A and B are shown apart, each in its own frame.
Chain A
Amino acid sequence: MGHSIKRKEDDRFIQGKGNYVDDIKLDGMLHMDIVRSPYAYAKIKSIDASKALEIPGVVAVVTGKDLEQYNLHWMPTLMSDTQMVLPTDTVMYQSQEVAAVIATDRYIARDGKEAVKVEYEPMKPLMNPHKAMDADAPVLRTDKEGKKDNHIWHWEVGDKAKTDKVFNEAEVTVEETMHIPRIHVASIETCGCVADYKKVNNHLTMYMTTQAPHAVRTVLALVAGHVGLTEEKIRVISPDIGGGFGGKVPVYPGYVIAIAVSFLTGVPIKWVEDRSENLQADSFARDYHIKAEIAATKEGKIQATRFKVLADHGYTDASANPSKFPTGMFSIGTGSYDYDTAYMEADAVYTNKPPGGVAYRCSFRVTEAVHAIETVVDTLALKIGKDPAQLRFENFIKKDQFPWKSPTGWEYDSGDYKAGLEMAMKAIDYDGLRKEQVEKRKKGELMGIGISTFTEIVGAGPSKDFDILGIKMFDSAEIRVHPTGKAIARFGTKSQGQGHETTYAQIIAEELGIPAENIQVEEGDTDTAPYGLGTYASRSTPTAGAAAAMAARKLKDKAKKIAAYLLEVSEDDLEWEPGKFSVKGAPEKSKTIQEIVFAAYTDHPQGMEAGFEATHYYDPPNLTFPSGAYICVADIDPDTFEIKVRRFVAIDDCGNIINPMIVQGQVHGGLTQGIAPAMYEELLYDDDGNILNGTLMDYLVPTAVESPSWETGHTITPSPHHPIGAKGVGESPTVGAPPAIANAICDALKPYGITHLDIPITPFKIFKTLQEKGLLDTDLKM
């Protein structure tokens, strides 16, 4: 623990020997390409595949009508909604799958796709979620019997009456209305699969880009069980994955079509989407319209918060959400502050946009919640004229108040918010920056300092609240130690770059004393790994990492028994130091773990089971609550409004740290996926439902030039309920960074009297806002 050992997985990646899904090539494999709708909402009048089928090498064209014969044209979503695999009569969003072309090579499949003629009757799409909620809005989901509106669900938490009362009587109230934009994870590897069905033994091997192979196997069995593909006949293999960020949790129609075609033909089918398909049709993230309010005393003591959300889910609620709450963990939005009254409500609505959503490196809707609270806390600071850092210090939950019960029902496990913010302020020289700002404002220069002090909620999750289609959100580890003292450990999670092969080995090494380099970690094969729910929501360390420690402790118990037998003493007379048991008071009498393991195979005590293996399924007693204090300094050019993030300091607290190098790497990456939606990324649609930035030429993923040189540090407040005191870290920075950046930009724009701008905040958005408000000629000198 706490050692920055270099990653075990890197050797294959730096030599180009990773094994990603598009690297898989099977004998006789055919390629699939997908015909997609140019319209956001249209009736399909006809599909004519005859020209495509004339092309040499085109083997088949599959439509919804073909799948309908096998009842495979619809599938359930993870939120128990329904989604078309291929349409039989109507398309509901632009780039929706319409037909699949199977060919001997990917070029010919693309030729076939161009040759398929589809006749559409376009209809006017519903793109605005507010209008979609209107009583007279046309009903989109006519496939749902009796559906009379576009409303999907309503959710609420907290005490409405008490909250309203506090607001009515409050000395100060502030509110902001904001849109957290629809964005896309855009992992550098797109999604894809090779479906390999063998008729001879009625068995499907599915190689696919999935973050949750076991859950996918179960879902596939639910979808295809009626045609004989029951769960024992399905093996899901998740090879190396080129980034996930939540986008590789859902089951997309392409996977199901590939399986159906392989099942019907008995030939392996490869489908790998291209980047435009990935951006245009795979699950989006966010797209929350939020009104956030705070009630406070005139000194700035927060008394209550009230949030109202409209969630645009597109054509169907295909959220990859591990909780029983339709808004995921949005109710963490009460923040890091000590008050006891809150009310939150959300409604979800169908529109003619692609379905979703996924998390985009977030423990599901935490980013939206944190953005809301951290935005409106700054609005409060501005309104009462208090420094935003000071306001936060005065409202923080104190270190000795944990475990702390939030007004929305969570029990925060531990934290030291004051220490984090103090450390960040010192590292960035907050007082010096504020002085500099005063001088700059005298000269009319735009400089802003933004803070975000957030609480995350990760590690889904305790079985009482968390499941996917009823399967509880535990995770698992199996450790087998071979006679020579080397081990293999298998997990139900699946790394997409997080470095599990190294960190899990370190956890086991810490517990058992076997060197990490002698522990091989395997994930992603449902035939060999124990069942688990996968990697997302920063859950791997909180769940599978805990399972690793618990399985190792079972082995240590066995080791103690064997050591007592070998040393001919009572177990009580033994003491453990990393790697060996020795007799108390006689340290020269000892047995190393390697000697003990060897004995487990060669000389085990009578009555004891031979071998040295253990499995553990870990159902966490609570979630973990990492936190962070982030400070951003931004300079804005008063003529062009170009925004430059000058410095960004991130202090994270993810509990005990297994590998500081890997944790820091996660923070760097997460921060970059924080600046992305704050300043660059948003999926844009016109009123006709056309996506306006559906390629990487116009959807701006930050490069090394846009990304600042991140400065990071940490405080350590162990989780009291986690076996090794760790909390998880992958998503914290993506959650915490956007409000720090937005607050810095709005602070820089203070001379204009701007308190809030929706992210992404671009130079053009600043210009347009100022122009619309007639503020372009404001005297900037303060």
Chain B
Amino acid sequence: MTAEVEPRTLLVHLIREKLSSTGTHIGCDTSSCGACTLLIDGKSAKSCTILAVQVNGKEITTVEGLLTADGLHPIQEGFKENHALHCGFCTPGMMMRAVELLGKNPNPSEDEIRWGISGNLCRCTGYNNIVKAIKYASAKMRGAELPSTEPEFV
């Protein structure tokens, strides 16, 4: 895709406003919340603190790019099946971060998942089910047996 931008234009604004891909969200102005997380050449990055010109010639993947010809990406399926989203606002950034995490560590422990997504804030879910969703996606991507998606009660 080609677009002309001012030198000061942030990547997230290029994507949301010029390219009209509004799946990537803005939740803060200090790179703290991670709602704007996307992949630059496969590495997760917070697009609210990157200038659009810095990614000239690079491959950007946003949430809109997760869907495959076969349907939902395993991380999308994991989030839906495990109730890992409420309002949906942090979800795209959270999933993009998880995609990179699983790329580097295909079978992460709960602790590794929690630290791995600690740059992304969710105010609704309390994270339990996000951890579950990432474990589910991990199993699916490895071809392992899928964990139960039923809620567990004491």
Contact = CB atoms under 8 A, between A and B. Distances in A.
Interface stretch (A20-28, A523-531, A609-617): A20-28
Interface in B4-48: 6, 8-9, 13, 16-17, 20-30, 32-33, 35
A710 B85 contact: no
Contact of A711 (B67, B120, B154): B154
A275 B29 contact: yes
Contact of A189 (B29, B89, B110, B154): B89
Contact of B123 (A12, A23, A188, A666): A188
Nearest to A674: B126
Given A15-B76, A704-B114, A673 B30 contact: no
A6 B80 contact: yes
- Which interface residue of B88, B117, B126 has the most chain A CB atoms within 10 A? B126
Nearest to A668: B126
Interface residues of A, number: 69
A14 B80 contact: yes
Given A189-B27, A242-B25, A696-B121, A14 B6 contact: no
Contacts of A22: 16, 22, 25-26
A187 interface: yes
B100 interface: no
Contact of B27 (A107, A240, A275, A276): A275
Contacts of A499: 86
A608 B60 CA distance: 61
B117 to A, nearest CB: 5
A684 B120 CA distance: 24
B151 A660 contact: yes
A695 B30 contact: yes
A705 B115 contact: yes
Contacts of B59: none
Contacts, number: 201
Contacts of B123: 185-188, 243, 245, 669, 672-673, 701
A276 to B, nearest CB: 6
Contacts of A418: none
A367 interface: no
A9 B89 CA distance: 13
Interface string A1-40: 0001011011111111111101101000000000000000
A25 to B, nearest CB: 7
B138 interface: no
B69 to A, nearest CB: 14
B102 interface: no
A274 interface: yes
B87 to A, nearest CB: 3
Contacts of B64: 15-16
In this complex, the member of A18, A187, A705 whose beta carbon has the largest number of chain B beta carbons within 10 angstroms is: A18
A746 B153 CA distance: 28
B contact patch SS? loop
Contacts of A695: 28-30, 32
Interface string B73-92: 00010011101011111111
B154 A713 contact: yes
A32 B139 CA distance: 47
Contact of A661 (B16, B115, B151): B151
A276 B29 contact: yes
Contacts of B118: 703-705
Contacts of A25: 17, 20
Contacts of A4: 150-151
Nearest to B62: A16
B129 A668 contact: yes
A214 interface: no
A498 B86 contact: yes
Nearest to A651: B154
A668 B90 contact: no
Contacts of B72: 14
A665 B88 contact: no
B89 A242 contact: yes
A712 B16 CA distance: 39
Interface string A34-60: 000000000000000000000000000
B99 interface: no
B125 interface: yes
22 contacts: A10-B80, A15-B64, A16-B92, A18-B23, A22-B25, A107-B6, A107-B9, A189-B25, A276-B29, A649-B154, A660-B151, A661-B151, A665-B126, A669-B124, A671-B126, A673-B123, A695-B28, A696-B32, A701-B121, A703-B120, A704-B118, A710-B126
Interface of B: 6, 8-9, 13, 16-17, 20-30, 32-33, 35, 62-64, 66-67, 72, 76, 79-81, 83, 85-92, 95, 110, 113-115, 117-131, 150-151, 153-154
- Give the top 8 A-B pairs by smallest Cβ distance, nearest first: A16-B23, A242-B89, A13-B88, A497-B87, A497-B86, A668-B126, A16-B63, A696-B32
Given A14-B76, A709-B128, A710-B128, 16 more contacts: A14-B63, A14-B91, A16-B62, A18-B23, A20-B89, A23-B22, A25-B20, A107-B13, A189-B27, A242-B89, A243-B124, A275-B28, A276-B30, A661-B151, A666-B86, A668-B125
